Amino acid sequence: MTDYLSTGTLPEDYRDLALTVREFARTVVAPVSAEHDANHTFPYEVVQGMAEMGLFGLPFPEEYGGMGGDYFALCLALEELGKVDQSVAITLEAGVSLGAMPIHRFGTDKQREQWLPSLTSGRALAGFGLTEPDAGSDAGGTRTTAVLDGGDWLINGRKQFITNSGTDITALVTVTAVTGQTGGKKEISTILVPSGTPGFAVEPAYNKVGWNASDTHPLSFTDVRVPEANLLGERGRGYANFLRILDEGRIAIAALSVGAAQGCVDESVRYAKERLAFGQPIGRNQAIAFKIARMETRAHVARTAYYDAAALMLAGKPFKKQASIAKLVASEAAMDNARDATQIFGGNGFMNEYAVARHYRDSKILEIGEGTTEVQLMLIGRELGL
Ligand SMILES: Cc1cc2nc3c(=O)[nH]c(=O)nc-3n(C[C@H](O)[C@H](O)[C@H](O)COP(=O)(O)OP(=O)(O)OC[C@H]3O[C@@H](n4cnc5c(N)ncnc54)[C@H](O)[C@@H]3O)c2cc1C
């Protein structure tokens, strides 16, 4: 079925989903976006609405409370939300792709039964704790440690920039930690740490440039004890497992970025028809029309790239290179389109209440999170044998 995914003709169930989320974004998300952005507040009511629509369960089996859909369905939802509000879109992306997916992919039956129903229903969120103060792009540089002590993991260390880690509905964070050495190399494993575990501190939220309505915190772990059974996946496979999660996540971030890029086009087309200067709509000037045509082209090419990566992934074929390409072109399309849209909006483009101004601040992180542009280039180069 995935062989004929095209940006022009989507199968009906995917199209229906995209249209439903588009309507939700227009009627529920857009009216409160500027306010949550200005106040740096987490949009609980919007998250609840997404939960009621089943968005947090999209790619998960029904036996764990999911919708029985697939990862491409999640991407379509992210694209629609990303057009209107990147904070809301990243909350869903991180909740599903980084929060619940590791448990679904690598958890035991017991761990899935314990955590997935609340995560797939959107009643709870989980964080993905990989990045540390001294381990970002070089995530293998993890310094957080976990040692077995009397049947418990004893965890010490710090994580930074962790999305969805400090909301009222955050239930746990999955962290990477060094659990030993094998063959002179660090053995890195992943461990589930429930919120509220003594010694696990969620530090005050960051004051960010954008994504102001999304939840991001530094975390610290001081002699945190969790049962040995909280190991997620095989001991020593934690880093590799998280890299697999990031490969998929890049397709999702690409979809969100395409949404942002397209949102900038849509806003610009509307504004260019309405705004008058020198006695005519500014869109009549070829300089403006060409700018918007280029923006549309960037969004379209980036969409094609993420559709391709998703189709390969769903077909069970290698998709690492295509996911990196999609993430690279889509994040750059979002940033470039946000800059151009802001220019088209003139002074209004510099006013925070305008959606394009928010895209201008929000889009920069798309070139950084879940692997920077340079990391994508490294991965593409490696896939080419360089
Ligand atoms: C809002 C936000 C949310 C986030 N959410 C999460 C989350 O939920 N979970 C999580 O684990 N992390 C999260 N992150 C962290 C994010 O993934 C990292 O910030 C990102 O991977 C970059 O790591 P770094 O910040 O340490 O930068 P660094 O790794 O220090 O990189 C600094 C610069 O050097 C470049 N660079 C590094 N190495 C090379 C090289 N070999 N060649 C060329 N250039 C290089 C980088 O591309 C970058 O431009 C989040 C970050 C932000 C800002």
pLDDT at 7: 76
3-class DSSP string for 176-195: EEEEEEECCEEEEEEEEEEC
* Catalytic annotation, pick one of 79, 353, 370, 383: 370
Distance 27 CA to ligand 1 centre (A): 34
pLDDT for 305? 97
Residue 355 burial (CB count, 10 A): 24
Q: Is 304:258 a contact under the CB 8 Å cutoff?
A: no
Q: Decide if 167 contacts 175 (C-beta within 8 A).
A: no
Ligand 1 centroid vs 334 CA: distance in angstroms? 18
Structure token digits, residue 215: 């939840």
Distance CA(220)–CA(202), nearest Å, equals 7
Pocket of ligand 1 (CB under 6 A): 94, 98, 127-131, 136-137, 161-163, 208, 211, 216, 365, 368-372, 374-375
Three-class secondary structure of residue 368 per DSSP = coil
pLDDT number for residue 1: 41
Instruction: Quote the pLDDT of residue 5.
Output: 65
pLDDT at residue number 238: 94
Helix, strand, coil distribution of the chain in percent, nearest 5: 60, 20, 25
Structural contact between residues 119 and 112, judged by C-beta atoms closer than 8 angstroms: no
What is the whole-number distance in angstroms between the Cα of residue 32 and the centre of ligand 1? 30
Nearest to 251 by CA among 186, 300, 316, 321: 321
Intervals of the chain under pLDDT 50: 1-3
296 is catalytic: no
Q: What is the DSSP string of 216-244?
A: EEEEEEEEEEEEGGGEESSTT-HHHHHHH
Report the alpha-carbon distance of residue 22 to residue 80 in Å, rounded: 5
- Tell me what pLDDT residue 2 has: 46
Cβ atoms < 10 Å from Cβ of 181: 10
DSSP string of 111-170, one letter each residue = HHHHHHHHHHTTSSEEEEE--BTTBSSSGGG---EEEEETTEEEEEEEEEEEETSSSTTE
d(CA 176, CA 144): 7
Of 37, 91, 131, 380, which is best to mutate to test ligand 1, by the most ligand atoms within 8 angstroms of its C-beta?
A: 131
Taking alpha carbons only, the member of 145, 313, 168, 336 closest to residue 245 is 313
